[in-house]
Amino acid sequence: MSLVNKYDAIVIGGGHNGLTAAAYLARAGKKVLVLERRYVLGGAAVTEEVFPGFKYSVCSYVVSLLKPNIIRELMLPKFGLELLPLESTFTPLDNDYLLRTADEDQTYREISRHSPRDAETYMRFGPLMGQIGMAVRPILETIAPNIMRPSLSDLGAMKKLLNHFKTLSNEQFEYLTKLMTMSSADFLDEWFEFEPLKATMCSSGIIGTFMGPRSPGSAYVMLHHYMGDIDGAFRSWGFQRGGTGAVSMAIARSAEQFGADILTEAAVGKVIVKNGSAVGVVLENGDEYQADKVISGLDPKLSFLKMVDESDLPSDFVTDIKNFRIRGSSGKVNLALDGLPNFTSLPGDGPHLRGAISISPSYDYLEKAYDDAKYGNFSQEPYMDIILPSVIDPGMAPPGKHVMSCFVQYAPYDIKGGWDDQKREDFGDTVINALARYAPNIKDIILHRQVLTPADLESTFGLTEGNIFHGELTLQQLFVMRPAVKWANYKTPITNYYQCGSGTHPGGGVTGSPGEMAAKKILKDW
Amino acid sequence: MNYGNPFTARTQLKLSPFFERTSELNESQEWRRWSGYLAATNYELTHENEYFAIRTKAALLDITPLYKYIIEGPAAQPFLDRLVTRNIGICKVGQVMYTPWCDENGKQIDDGTVQRLTDQKFRITSAEPNLEWIETNAIGMDLTITDDSKTTAALALQGPNSRAILNIIASDTLDNLKFFWMMETRFGDIPVSISRTGYTGDLGYEIWMDPKDALSVWDLFMDKGKPFGITPTGLQALDMARIEAGLILLDVDYISSRHAIVETRKSSPYELGLGWAVKMKKKDFIGKKALETELAQGSEWEFVGIDIQWAELENHYRNVGLAPGLPGTAWRTSTPLYKGNKQVGYATSGCWSPILKRYIALAHVKSDYAQSGSTLDFELKVEHYRKVTPAIVVKTPFFDPERKRSCP
């Protein structure tokens, strides 16, 4: 084997977390290689021109949780990170609508049109969630300790966290406890009365999760989405110019500038394990690469049940990974449009098309959508989180044309009879019909449609069962339990084999955080 | 609507020829004064989309309030060479030069652009009225000076999509127009001049026209520019962009020596980071002697960028249980800079840069402390208490995209 194929570290998977880990390792002077199976980098944070002239943020479509210190330390603005504001949320209803914008007065007036009480409460709710976010942040920024056999630094980290919790106000503590345990619907019921407002707010508690708004635990997922950190302050969502793939590309260019090598169309077949220690990888085409450390950016199922042999792992760990819940619950429909959708309740162009469009008229609507999924069907009337990227960034489509990104829930991975081409088309039709209820012209302006089912998300992007978070963000799978107890600190039972994907602490979303913290842990251990 | 108040905006302040459109589009009805004109602060209720239009799409700004003078005649070029610090002798027809100008003591009066329209005809722009200064210095010279402030209307079209929009509207391609050059063309049957200039540090153009064509040109832009994300943009967004571009603003970052009252308020071009624009090889110009002395002895002050360090700033806020509370818009409050216990400078304008994800400011710093990379302490008020937080001296511009100068 030639010396060229010997690296300090190899990262499996060029998703945004793998690239982040690679960038940090390269920044520390390590010789790093990233191996990506597809022709394009980014994993699920990818932009592709699926239909000529139209760019789709194929999977992940908005950015809010990307950590500010990563942006600074990897100098991402220099490499193309440009986050555009996406600050309105439009909930079309059958004969009316709810529109929240970046302007407080406008939003107050609009909500009070439906409920004066809610309008007032709303002004207090955002800042409170911001404070709760601040309270949780130290947990997210701590490398999860091994609570079974804590090291000295683990004990230090735990003590630091305990001290932090002592500084929380009673209010912060109360709401934090509630958010950790309640359903998002119950939690919001304590605050608001206008159903479409509550339903739209609680929808961030079900995104990517196989739970309904009334399922306990969904409130945490809502909080997870509230920790948006754009611009350093606690803020809402943004859209990357050029699509989410441009975030990954910015990280990749940063990594390359620090000296990392990145290969695409280089699918890793297996991690080479010798005497309980990872020593390299072998590609599906037979090429071998050696490395002192191998880091998997894949989800826990792939990292441990595919990339290595079960026999190399302790059986209790294998059981934990097998039990790790990773059920996919969502699909994605991307549309190329000849014009703008025209909403019956708020016709024409306007600020309501510049942000999120949420099909979430009521709790019952969402819960019924979940009911379908529970019994193995996709939702007949699905929840949707929609954006029109080309309205925010005209470069996403030819002049005057548009692209539309629809995140659709629920679409269970385990659908009755399994997913096939017919079911995919049926699912696509259902989505368009649900949309046409509020914007009837949609059917006439579609130039191209890309429908991704959980099965497609698995086969194309390597997301096991199509789960966008590499595993559900439920309490039993967070922090010291993600992905398994004792192994939440990015290490694995195999020496020199590490993990850095969304299946590790602090979880999913385009945060870069697992990649960053894994790299920092690896460098500490080196 | 008439509220019975005879002193309406229409009578108090000048209205630009674009006002009929801008006043309709200004949803926030927030206006600032700019040279006695009503100028939109922002069109939407918040300025963010307008800021991002400058950096990622195309922003349309009414810049008519700029003071403009036409200087024409056989002596126009020699006169301008005497007036300003740049070398106008080498300015070709169709070229534009940014330049400061000074008093006899080498202290800066104003800054603007000089356009060479023909061999003997120039247009100079300024932030403040300069007619009296220009006329006084031109006594006896073979030239005419015309105040062009009201006879030419102007729009700025700034941002990465600006060229694409102009290429659709103009009779001639903009592809060959280089940075700081200008051209004559037509929009249909409307004659316009287009200079590749601006106050944003981005790809951008300024369009100069007869005020009678103002509304037609505005409508053309809004119509043809729509698919490219054209956005009417106000001064709040512009202020952030010009700070990112490291471009100074009169009366904010410096005071005209003609209005300074006390000596310490005056600055030379060297002290404003404009040393590059002072051409000592020129025969003579107003302030040359004093500037020669300053150049030989070294300047007392430098004008620099500072990068206020985020992690430390965030800690200040975390200590009081809050997320960092920065203003969402650019600030213009003079803010002390220290080295140890000694004040060594002051920042004059700053903002959180959404595109750079950095907290930046422009500052006057005593030369001994102004080396790039050195750390100063920036004064910060956190919950009513004064704190200091580290800021690193950096070169400007903070933001300098390749597209600003490049041609396709």
- The string of pLDDT tens digits covering residues B98-138 is 999 999 999 999 999 999 999 999 999 999 999 999 999 99
Task: Say if B257 falls within a structural domain.
Answer: no
**Which of A84, A106, A399 lies at the smallest CB-CB distance from B45?**
A106
Taking CB atoms and an 8 Å cutoff, what residues of chain A touch B357?
68, 71-72, 76-77, 81, 231-232
CA separation for the pair B168, B293 (Å, rounded) = 51
pLDDT at A68: 86
pLDDT at A44 over 70: yes
pLDDT at A230: 40
Task: Say if B243 falls within a structural domain.
Answer: no
Rounded to a whole number, what is the distance in Å from the CA of A270 to chain B's nearest CA? 39
* Helix (H/G/I), strand (E/B), else coil: A59: coil
CA separation for the pair B196, B209 (Å, rounded) = 15
**Residue range A213-242: mean pLDDT, rounded:** 76
Domain holding B405, by residue range, is 300-408
| Domain CATH code at residue B161 | 3.30.1360.120
pLDDT at B248 over 80: yes
- Asked if residues B315 and B123 have their Cβ atoms less than 8 Å apart, the reply is no
DSSP lists the bridge partners of residue A98 as: A91
Q: For residue A98, give both structure tokens.
A: 């709810």
Q: For A464-494, write each residue's pLDDT tens digit.
A: 999 999 999 888 999 999 999 999 999 999 9
pLDDT at A225: 79
Q: Chain B: residue nearest A235 by CA?
A: B323
* Number of domains chain B contains: 3
Residue at A176: amino acid letter: L
pLDDT at B6: 52
pLDDT at A232: 46
**Which of A72, A77, A101 lies at the smallest CB-CB distance from B355?**
A77
pLDDT at A235: 53
Decide which of B233, B257, B276 is a domain's last residue.
B233
A130, B45: Cβ pair inside 8 Å?
A: no
B357, A77: Cβ pair inside 8 Å?
A: yes
- Poorest-confidence range of B43-52, B66-75, B214-223? B43-52
pLDDT band at A79 (very low <50, low <70, confident <90, very high): very high
CA separation for the pair A160, B1 (Å, rounded) = 63
| Other CB atoms within 10 A of residue B312 CB | 15
Taking CB atoms and an 8 Å cutoff, what residues of chain A touch B236?
none
Whether B59 and B74 map to the same domain: the answer is no
Task: Say if B284 falls within a structural domain.
Answer: no
**Residue range B329-354: mean pLDDT, rounded:** 96
Rounded to a whole number, what is the distance in Å from the CA of A43 to chain B's nearest CA? 25
* Structural domains of chain A sorted by starting position, each given as residue range(s) with its CATH number in brackets: 3-47+65-81+241-325+469-525 (3.50.50.60)
Taking CB atoms and an 8 Å cutoff, what residues of chain B touch A105?
45
A131, B321: Cβ pair inside 8 Å?
A: yes
pLDDT at A397 over 90: yes
Q: Tell me the whole-structure pTM to 2 decimals.
A: 0.94
- Poorest-confidence range of A238-252, A291-305, B1-15, B122-136? B1-15
Half-sphere exposure of A37 (CA within 13 A, CB side): 19
Q: For residue A164, give both structure tokens.
A: 């932090």
**Which of B49, B354, B357 lies at the smallest CB-CB distance from A72?**
B357
Decide which of B193, B214, B233 is a domain's last residue.
B233
Q: Residue count of chain A, please give it.
A: 526
pLDDT at B35: 94
CA separation for the pair A184, B258 (Å, rounded) = 64
Q: For residue B288, give both structure tokens.
A: 């040359």
Average pLDDT value over all residues in chain A = 94
Beta strands A497-499 and A288-296: pairing type? Answer: parallel
Task: Say if B276 falls within a structural domain.
Answer: no
pLDDT at B3: 45
pLDDT at A241: 96
Task: Say if B94 falls within a structural domain.
Answer: yes
Show Cβ contacts of residue A470 under 8 Å, excluding neighbours closer than 6 positions: A299, A300, A326, A463, A464, A501, A502, A503, A507, A508
- Poorest-confidence range of A134-143, B364-373, B377-386? A134-143
Taking CB atoms and an 8 Å cutoff, what residues of chain A touch B46?
102-103
pLDDT band at A86 (very low <50, low <70, confident <90, very high): confident
CA separation for the pair A26, A36 (Å, rounded) = 17
pLDDT at A244: 97
A85, B314: Cβ pair inside 8 Å?
A: no
Half-sphere exposure of A148 (CA within 13 A, CB side): 8
- The more confidently predicted of residues A172 and B394 is B394
Q: For A341-358, write each residue's pLDDT tens digit.
A: 999 999 999 999 999 999
Q: Chain A: residue nearest B317 by CA?
A: A233
Whether B327 and B196 map to the same domain: the answer is no
CA separation for the pair A394, B52 (Å, rounded) = 12
**Residue range B282-299: mean pLDDT, rounded:** 97
Decide which of B200, B233, B266 is a domain's last residue.
B233
pLDDT band at A236 (very low <50, low <70, confident <90, very high): low
Rounded to a whole number, what is the distance in Å from the CA of A462 to chain B's nearest CA? 32
**Which of A81, A84, A134 lies at the smallest CB-CB distance from B323?**
A134
Whether B174 and B113 map to the same domain: the answer is no
pLDDT at A355: 93
With CA atoms as reference, report the closest residue to A37 among A54, A14, A17: A14
CA separation for the pair B99, B282 (Å, rounded) = 14
What are B's interface residues with A at a Cβ cutoff of 8 A? 44-46, 48-49, 52, 55-57, 161, 226-229, 310-311, 314, 318, 321-326, 352, 354-358
Task: Say if B288 falls within a structural domain.
Answer: no
- The more confidently predicted of residues B222 and A171 is B222
Whether B49 and B165 map to the same domain: the answer is yes
Q: For residue B273, give both structure tokens.
A: 């980071």
Between the CA of residue A274 and those of A281, A309, A372, A497, B41, what are the distances in Å? 11, 12, 47, 11, 67
- DSSP, residue by residue, B19-79: HHHHHHH-SS-EEEEETTEEEEEESSSSSHHHHHHHHHSEEEEE-TTSEEEEEESTTHHHH
Q: For B50-88, write each residue's pLDDT tens digit.
A: 999 999 999 999 999 999 999 999 999 999 999 999 999
DSSP lists the bridge partners of residue B194 as: B183, B207
Scored b (16 or more CB within 10 A) or e, A366-383 reads bbebbebbeeebbbebbb
Rounded to a whole number, what is the distance in Å from the CA of B312 to chain A's nearest CA? 12
Which of A108, A241, A352, A391 has the most B C-beta neighbours within 10 Å, making it the best mutation to test the interface with B?
A: A241
Q: What are the backbone dihedrals phi and psi of residue B142, each rounded to the nearest 5 degrees, phi first?
A: -85, 75
Interface A-B: count of C-beta contacts within 8 A: 68
A306 exposed, middle or buried (CB, 10 Å; 0-12, 13-18, 19+)? middle
Task: Say if B338 falls within a structural domain.
Answer: yes
Show Cβ contacts of residue A525 under 8 Å, excluding neighbours closer than 6 positions: A491
**Which of B44, B56, B357 lies at the smallest CB-CB distance from A393?**
B56
pLDDT band at A99 (very low <50, low <70, confident <90, very high): very high
Q: For A453-468, write each residue's pLDDT tens digit.
A: 999 999 999 999 999 9
Task: Say if B39 falls within a structural domain.
Answer: yes
Q: Chain B: residue nearest A350 by CA?
A: B44
Whether B315 and B407 map to the same domain: the answer is yes
Per-residue DSSP letter, B272: G
Whether B58 and B186 map to the same domain: the answer is yes
